[in-house]
Each structure stands twice: as structure tokens, then as C-alpha cells.
Chain A
Amino acid sequence: MDTQIGFNWRESVRLGLIGGLVALSLSLIGVVETFGGRGIISGVISLGQILLFGAMAGAGYMSARQNPHARTGLNLVGGLIAGLLASLPLIVLVFVAGPINLRDFLPNASPGLLKLLIFEQDQATGSLLLLAVSAVVGLVGAGITLLPGRVRHPLLMGLLFVLMVGLLSEIIILAWGTKGLGLKIRRFMFDKGLSIRGTLLVFLIVAGLNALWGALGGRAQARVSALPAQQQKVLGWGRIALGVLFMLVLPMILRTYLTEVINNVGLFILMGFGLNIVVGFAGLLDLGYVAFFAIGAYTMGVLTSQGELGVAGMSFWSALPIAVAASVLAGVILGVPVLRMRGDYLAIVTLGFGEIIRILALSDFLAPAIGGAQGILKIPKASLGGLEFVAPETLYYLILAACLVAAFVSWRLRDARLGRQWMAMREDEDVAEAMGINLVQTKLLAFAMGAAFAGLSGAIFATKLSSIFPHSFNLLISINVLCLIIVGGMGSLPGVMVGALILVGLPELLREFAEYRLLMYGALLIVMMLSRPEGFWPEESRKRELHEFETEPVLAD
């Protein structure tokens, strides 16, 4: 008899029950049913089901991870049990919902949900089916951990891409699948979500490429880094040129609707760059960032509006510097009182500032000047040499230009003396001051710079919408921007873009997401802080640290 480490069954049971509660919660808050309409693979599985069974798969996966040294068979059984248990709360729900009308209490415990849970079968058959499927999913979840990396990575990557393509299928069809070649591809690959043919195609291509890269990628990378510095430089410039070219032709690829989405993302990227300076570089947690966005927008509105509230009738371009300057001024004015506050107090006070600005914008007190709840209307479009920035495709270039300026400024400052001042302050305020850094000046510069980008974003926002209302400037914008820089990686410029694409782009594309946007953000903030505090695309120096950790022997936890 070999000496096996005892299998931790209690852990499997515990994880199974936790998975069950997660699945139950997802069902009762309406996620399963709402996302049930979003087919990923046509007629096979919807996003709602993926989330639901994700809980079971997760339970199985975690159960196997808890017992890394156990025998394969035991681990599979553990996963099976975890999956099985995870379905129990749902089955209880199905049976309770028969005699009692749960909808009086829980509006989302609807017949539609129940039907979904039992695969549109009758109660007994459906429940058994649910039990069986859950158990199998738990087993598969456990099984994934047992596969060797070179199989697991392509497999997961393939599944991830199937999920992504399926998720976006409606958008893809709308944008490109209406005529010609697009229509043919659409017929082949898509139905409600991906068709089965399409799924296989996507999976095979992605998994194949991934496996190929796994086998050969290391060598290719080595060859590139072996190139002389001169050629590497050329390669680097080539990459940048390609990126710029891509950005320039993007609206032509994306067409009107998607360009509109990208424009909204762009305004958030712009704000993200600004808040990134304040939070990411200087370490000052600002929860009232929306205030500067609002001030930029309102200044633009008041100065250019052709309605009753317009005072100057200026053009966009002459009002733009004033709007940015007003935001900067506000940044400095709001910055002064908080100079001596640290960390968490700063967060709450800035949150208060954001609310004050919003309440003032809404109030009757300032209504004669900025319209109160009625807002400011008739804000003219920007134009440049006969080109009117009206259509999303042209507005895109305005926003792109602003983003590029912000990115450039951020990038230059990061590596300059001021960037080092900010980072030193972020690391240790006292020592930074002892190094001869004037904290007042350094902090105010961070606030001012951050406010400038937000003001720029707000000014463009005002002309983009032609009218502004106080409710566009609520706390959620601040939270949104904060989330996107945290998810992307604090202090990281590409991270801001990735974060904005995920957190602003996705919910705009998928209307069901909008309702659960903040639920998702909240969960994401917690998960990121627990598991990946450096973000998806960390700043270079932090990535460097991670690599150093990787080379050291890692002890099992």
C-alpha cells in the first residue's frame, strides 16, 4: 500500500456548497435568466448557463487544487461531489418554487428562470438532469487541473475565444455580416451565437495557434532578442507605426455603431489617463474625479451654448483651453484643503467634493447659470477647417487626438523628474519630503494634471452630446474610472486602455451587462485586490518584479 496523503473530502463538500450558494445567488439576482438570452453556441449553451455552470466547474476546480498530491481518481471523484453538491440549492429552489410563489419576495425567481434551470423538462426529470450535468461539470473542472500545461493552455484559450466570439456574435453580425463575403461567413459560423461549425472552427484555430506558439514561441522570441540593437529598434518603431495606422483606419473597420462605442471608451480612456496620474503615479486616491469632468463639460456648455444659458457663444476651439483651465483651477482649489490628508480620509473627502459639485449642478441655486436639472442645451459641434465633428467617425479623430496627447504627456512625465517625485511620494511621503521634494507642489501638480485630462474629456463630452445634464456626472463615473485603472493596472498606460475596453466597452455592447455593471465592478475590485493587485497589464517595474519572483523557487501554499 502506498502512503497517500489523505484526501480532504470536507474541503470538496465545503467548496461544493459555496459553489451552490453562488449558483443560487446568480439565479436569484436575475443574472442567469437575463444572460440566458445571450446564446454563445447556438442552441447549446447561453451565457447564463455558462455562468451558472461556471460555479460548479469552479467548485470542482478548487477542490482539485486543494488536493494537489492526491491520486487522479480521488480528485475526479472530489470534483464530481463538489459539482453535485453545488446543484443542490438550485434543486431545492426548483421544488420550493412549486408550492410557494417566491416572486412576491424575489422578483427574479420567475417561471422563466425555473424552466431554464431544469432544461425545460418536468420537475423530476429536469432536476435529475441538472444534478447529472452539474456533477459532470464539477468532474471536468477537477479534470482540467490534472492536464499537463501544454494541453491545458490551448484548451482554455480556445474555450475563452469561443466565449468571446460567441458573446460578441450579435455585434459582429451587425457590423460586418450583412452583405457579400460577410454574409457568407455569417451563414457558416453564426446563428444565435456561434453555430456548432463556427465553434469548432474558432476553437481549432485558436487552440492550434496557441499550441504552436507554446512549442515554437520561445525560440522565436529568443531569435528576436538575439537581433542586434539597431534592428530591434527598427522592429519597435515598426510596431508603433503599425499601431498608429491601425488606430487611424479603425472607424472604417468598425462602422458607425461600433465607432460610437469606441468614442465613449475613448472619453473614459482620457479620464483614465488623468486619474492614473493622481492615483497610479502619485498614490492619491481620488473618488471625486467626476467633478473635473463636470467642470470641463459645464464650462464648455456655458461658453459655447447657443441656447439661453450660453454667455459667450464661443467656438469649441476657443472655449477648449478655458474649459481645461477651469478644471485645472478647480483641481488646485479642491486640492489645497486635502493636502495634509492621507490615504483613506482623502478618498472620502474627494468623494464629498464630487457629490458637492453634482448637488450644486442640480440645485435651484445655480440653475439660473447652469440650468439645474434642465441642463444646458444647444452646444455646438466642433469644426476644423470645414470638417464638422458630428458623425461618430469624425468625432473619433478628435477623441483619438486628445487621448494621444494625454498618453504622450503621461508617458513623458512618468520617466521624468516629476514622475519620480510622484512615485516617491506614493511610496513614502515622509521620506520623499526628506529627499527635498516639496509635497505641496508635487501633490497640486498631480491634481492639476489629472483635472486637466478630465476637463478635456468633459469638454469633448459636452460637444459630443450637444447637451449636458447633472445626472451624467454622478459618483458612478468616478467609480468607473477608478475601476478601469485598477483592473488595467495602476500606473500602467496600456492598462488604462485595456481596462476601459473591458469595463466600458463590453457593457456598452451588451445591453444585459449594463444592469449588472456595478455588481460586476464591485466583484472585480475585490477579486483584483485579492488575486492580482497589479492589474491585468501592470506597469513595467511591477512586471519586472513578478518576473523575478517567477525565477525563484515557489513554495506550495
Chain B
Amino acid sequence: MRQRLENIDYLGLVLWLFRTAIIVAVVWGTVATIRDNPYSTRNWIDFVIFGLAQGSLYALIALGYTLVYGVLFIINFAHGEFFMSGVFTATVFVAIPMGQSGFLDRNPILALLIIAVVAMATSVGISLLTERIAYRPLRRAPRLVPLITAIGASFFWQYFFRGLYGSGITAFPTVQALQGSWSIAGIDILKTQAVVIVASILLLITLYVIVMRTKMGKAMRAVAEDKEIAALMGIDVDRVIVITFAMGSAAAGVAGVLYAILFRQVHFFMGFIPGIKAFTAAVLGGIGSIPGAALGGLFLGMVESVGPSLFLEGLGIPSSYQLKDVIAFTMLVLVLIFRPQGILGERLAEKKA
């Protein structure tokens, strides 16, 4: 009996209590909200659709984290800045002039495509530059070292673009064609939100097919397994890593444009919080897995959009939307404690020895 007492895992107990407390709070809040029912069905549907739109953006950004983590095992902290740099540049140099000249309204599809291409090109350029300078020389260094350079790169780019394009908020021009809403199966969906959701999902599927079906994708997976063996098999590891970064940042570039369409504003700090959220999404889904990133992104977007109203308000918390980031971070902590492999991931994170 004494033996058993000595062997109790106190840490496990504390963590269990922590988890239980959060579950109880969420259930309590949800029940209270449903009882009082302060929102109409219409409201809830809006929350969900907005959550999907926001979540599909998270998914697109999360893709970059997942691809890079899968291959290099580093958290590319600067990924949010790749997202920001592309759309910021495209807005300043392309979208605003096009908006002023009326081109954007005359040829919305062509104009948006050009904007997306410019954003992608910039994001890819910035990411490759970062990889070359801040990551590649440190590939054999202890894991904290590239993480620190990644943090450095993140702040460097933020303030670089702040210096370049100014510190204010730049408005992304409205696209006339995307004003208003479509009615699908009796539900009104804002056109912008619909476009964001559809475009993100199409892009995610495309990238997934590339990774799973093409020769390049195979090479990427080989490098993810074991860089040295992959090199022995004749794979140019540097090139594969470069392409991985390029793919992730291209997706981030598109995500940036979609973000601008959705929120209509662009600024130097816009990449930071979405970046961290997307990382959360990647971990949530299982870092290293593309479907995981998609699922994690959508889930996080949804919880953030619905959560404050659903379970915080029920707890009697005023202005609960202020705490949506708290929900996201709490989820990150919970996932890392209780299921570090994520929803879909294999257990590669913390294997001992």
C-alpha cells in the first residue's frame, strides 16, 4: 500500500484536474448559453460560416508550418511574415493602383489572379531568402538555435515591411463583384466568405495531390524520413527543402490575398497572430500532416468564431469575443499536453531516446 502511494503520478493528477476543470467549464457555459438562447439560428449560422472562412485561411497558413516541420523539424516562426509580405506588397503595388484605375472592377477575375501571383511571388521570395540566410547554415545546430533565428527573422521582416510601406493600416480595395451574398440552400452566404472557403479548399487539395502523387512529393517525404539516406538515394536535399519552403509560402501568399478580401485591410503586423493561430491549427491537426492542417485550421476557426458566444457567454463573461485568442491558446496547450500527436498526426513529436 505504501508502495502505491509513493508511485502516484502527481503531475498526471494535476494535469487531469486541469483538463477536467476546462471540460466542466465548457460544458457548463454551453448548457447555460443554450438555456438562455440569446442568439437566433441565423446568428449561429453566420458564426459557423465566418468560422469556416477564417478556419480555411488558418488551414492554408498551417500548411506551410506543417510542410516545413515535416521536412526540417523546425517551427518556422517567420511563416506569418511570409503571409504578410506577399499580400502587403501586392496591395501596395498592384491592388491599389488597379482599384484606382477601375481595372479591378472591370476584370475582377484577372485582376485578382494577378494580385495573387504577385503575392505568391513575394512570399516565396522572402521565404527563400530567409531559408538561405537564417536556416540553411544552421541545419546541424541544436534545435533551439534555428528557432531563435526564426523569431529574429519574424521581427526583422515585420519591421522591414513597416519601414518599406509605412506603419498605418492600408485598405485593400473593395471588389464590386464580391459584394453582397449568394443564397445557397436557403442560407445567405457573403460572397467574399464563399470565395475564401472554396479557393482555400481547392488549393489545399491541389497541394495535397502534389505531395502525395508527384515525384517531387515523394522526394519531400523521403527527405522528411531521413535526410542522409535521401541524399544517398540521389535526392538533392537542398532543392527539396527549397521547394518545400516555396510551396508553403506560396500557399501563405494566396492566404494573404484571401485574408485581404475577407477583412479588407492590410498592415505590417497582420501576419503575427494568424501565424501563431495557424501553428496552433497545425499542431491541433497533427503537425506534419496536410489533411491534419486542413482539419485543424477549420476546427480552430470554428471554435474561435462560435466559442466565445457558445461557452464563454454562458459563464457570464462580458464582451466574450475579446477572449477568442485565449480560447485558441488554451486549445494549443491542451492539445500539446494531452495529445501531442494531434488529431491526425503520428506520434513523431516527443519520442524519447
A residues with a Cβ closer than 8 A to B are: 25, 28-31, 105-108, 283, 285, 287, 336-345, 347-349, 351-353, 355-356, 359-360, 362-365, 430, 440, 479, 482, 486, 516, 518-519, 521-526, 529-530, 533
Give Cα A521 to B320, complex, Å.
Answer: 35
The reply to whether B147 and A343 form a contact with Cβ atoms under 8 Å apart is yes
The reply to whether B11 and A31 form a contact with Cβ atoms under 8 Å apart is no
B residues 143-197 touching A (CB-CB < 8 Å): 143-149, 151-160, 162-166
Interface size range on B against A: 35 or more
Give Cα A287 to B329, complex, Å.
Answer: 14
Which one, B149, B166, B329, B337, contacts A529 given CB within 8 A?
A: B149
The reply to whether A523 and B329 form a contact with Cβ atoms under 8 Å apart is no
The reply to whether B11 and A440 form a contact with Cβ atoms under 8 Å apart is yes
Minimum Cβ distance to chain A for residue B289 (Å): 16
The reply to whether B152 and A359 form a contact with Cβ atoms under 8 Å apart is no
Which one, A342, A362, A522, contacts B350 given CB within 8 A?
A: A342
Q: What 7 new A-B contacts, CB under 8 Å, besides A341-B350, A342-B350, A363-B323?
A: A29-B164, A105-B92, A344-B74, A440-B11, A516-B163, A519-B162, A522-B151
Q: Which chain B residues lie closer than 8 Å to A29 at the CB level?
A: 160, 162-164
Given contacts A342-B350, A344-B75, contact A285 B155 (CB under 8 A): no
B residues 113-166 touching A (CB-CB < 8 Å): 133-134, 137-138, 141, 143-149, 151-160, 162-166
Which one, A108, A347, A360, A363, contacts B319 given CB within 8 A?
A: A363
The reply to whether A355 and B325 form a contact with Cβ atoms under 8 Å apart is yes
The reply to whether A525 and B163 form a contact with Cβ atoms under 8 Å apart is no
The reply to whether A363 and B149 form a contact with Cβ atoms under 8 Å apart is no
The reply to whether A530 and B352 form a contact with Cβ atoms under 8 Å apart is no
Give Cα A519 to B337, complex, Å.
Answer: 34
Give Cα A342 to B73, complex, Å.
Answer: 13
Give Cα A386 to B233, complex, Å.
Answer: 78
The reply to whether A25 and B160 form a contact with Cβ atoms under 8 Å apart is yes
Max chain B CB contacts within 10 Å: which of A341, A343, A365?
A365
Give Cα A529 to B15, complex, Å.
Answer: 35
The reply to whether A352 and B333 form a contact with Cβ atoms under 8 Å apart is yes
Minimum Cβ distance to chain A for residue B211 (Å): 23
Minimum Cβ distance to chain B for residue A531 (Å): 10
A-B contact count (CB 8 A): 160
Minimum Cβ distance to chain A for residue B160 (Å): 6
The reply to whether B322 and A526 form a contact with Cβ atoms under 8 Å apart is no
Minimum Cβ distance to chain A for residue B159 (Å): 4
Q: Is B330 an interface residue (CB 8 A)?
A: yes
The reply to whether B15 and A343 form a contact with Cβ atoms under 8 Å apart is no
The reply to whether B164 and A28 form a contact with Cβ atoms under 8 Å apart is yes
B residues 324-348 touching A (CB-CB < 8 Å): 325-326, 329-330, 332-333, 336-337, 340
The reply to whether A359 and B322 form a contact with Cβ atoms under 8 Å apart is yes
Binary contact readout B296-336 vs A (1 if CB under 8 angstroms, 0 otherwise): 00000000000000000000011110110110011011001
Give Cα A340 to B326, complex, Å.
Answer: 21
Q: Which chain A residues lie closer than 8 Å to B158 at the CB level?
A: 518, 522
Give Cα A516 to B318, complex, Å.
Answer: 38
Given contacts A349-B336, A526-B134, contact A365 B164 (CB under 8 A): no
Q: Which chain A residues lie closer than 8 Å to B15 at the CB level?
A: 336-337
Minimum Cβ distance to chain A for residue B93 (Å): 6
Give Cα A336 to B318, complex, Å.
Answer: 29
Give Cα A343 to B133, complex, Å.
Answer: 22
State the majority secondary structure of interface residues on B: helix
Give Cα A360 to B330, complex, Å.
Answer: 13
Given contacts A519-B155, A529-B149, contact A105 B165 (CB under 8 A): yes
The reply to whether B319 and A365 form a contact with Cβ atoms under 8 Å apart is yes
Q: Which chain A residues lie closer than 8 Å to B11 at the CB level?
A: 336, 339-340, 440
Q: Which residue of B lies closest to A283 (CB)?
A: B144
Give Cα A312 to B116, complex, Å.
Answer: 58
Q: Which chain B residues lie closer than 8 Å to A287 at the CB level?
A: 151
Which one, A28, A349, A364, A525, contacts B152 given CB within 8 A?
A: A525
The reply to whether A518 and B322 form a contact with Cβ atoms under 8 Å apart is no
Which one, B157, B317, B330, contacts A365 given CB within 8 A?
A: B317
Q: Which residue of A lies closest to B134 (CB)?
A: A526
Given contacts A479-B155, A519-B155, contact A348 B332 (CB under 8 A): yes
Q: Is B202 an interface residue (CB 8 A)?
A: no
Given contacts A348-B75, A348-B279, contact A526 B330 (CB under 8 A): no
The reply to whether A351 and B276 form a contact with Cβ atoms under 8 Å apart is yes
Give Cα A193 to B336, complex, Å.
Answer: 54
For the complex of A and B, 9 pairs with smallest distance between CB atoms:
A29-B163, A525-B152, A522-B156, A352-B329, A522-B155, A519-B159, A364-B319, A526-B152, A522-B152
The reply to whether A30 and B319 form a contact with Cβ atoms under 8 Å apart is no
Q: Which residue of A lies closest to B146 (CB)?
A: A529
The reply to whether A337 and B337 form a contact with Cβ atoms under 8 Å apart is yes
Give Cα A344 to B149, complex, Å.
Answer: 12
Give Cα A285 to B153, complex, Å.
Answer: 17
Which one, B283, B317, B323, B337, contacts A340 given CB within 8 A?
A: B337
Minimum Cβ distance to chain A for residue B102 (Å): 17
Q: Which chain A residues lie closer than 8 Å to B156 at the CB level?
A: 518-519, 522-523, 526
Q: Which chain B residues lie closer than 8 Å to A440 at the CB level?
A: 11
Given contacts A105-B92, A479-B151, A529-B138, contact A365 B18 (CB under 8 A): no
The reply to whether B93 and A364 form a contact with Cβ atoms under 8 Å apart is no
Q: List 5 A-B contacts (CB under 8 A).
A: A341-B340, A344-B144, A363-B323, A519-B155, A526-B153
B residues 9-30 touching A (CB-CB < 8 Å): 11, 14-15, 18
Give Cα A143 to B148, complex, Å.
Answer: 35
Q: Which chain B residues lie closer than 8 Å to A430 at the CB level?
A: 352-353
Which one, A356, A482, A516, A533, contacts B326 given CB within 8 A?
A: A356
Q: Which chain A residues lie closer than 8 Å to B153 at the CB level?
A: 522, 526
Q: Is B235 an interface residue (CB 8 A)?
A: no
Minimum Cβ distance to chain B for residue A454 (Å): 19
Q: Which chain B residues lie closer than 8 Å to A285 at the CB level?
A: 144, 147-148
Give Cα A71 to B17, complex, Å.
Answer: 73
Q: Is B349 an interface residue (CB 8 A)?
A: yes
Given contacts A363-B322, A530-B138, contact A344 B152 (CB under 8 A): no
The reply to whether A343 and B144 form a contact with Cβ atoms under 8 Å apart is yes
Minimum Cβ distance to chain A for residue B243 (Å): 23
Give Cα A430 to B317, complex, Å.
Answer: 43
Give Cα A141 to B166, complex, Å.
Answer: 33
Minimum Cβ distance to chain A for residue B314 (Å): 14
Give Cα A353 to B329, complex, Å.
Answer: 7
The reply to whether A519 and B317 form a contact with Cβ atoms under 8 Å apart is no
The reply to whether B14 and A344 form a contact with Cβ atoms under 8 Å apart is no
Give Cα A156 to B162, complex, Å.
Answer: 33
Given contacts A343-B147, A530-B138, contact A108 B163 (CB under 8 A): yes
Given contacts A352-B276, A365-B319, A529-B148, contact A516 B159 (CB under 8 A): yes
The reply to whether B322 and A364 form a contact with Cβ atoms under 8 Å apart is yes
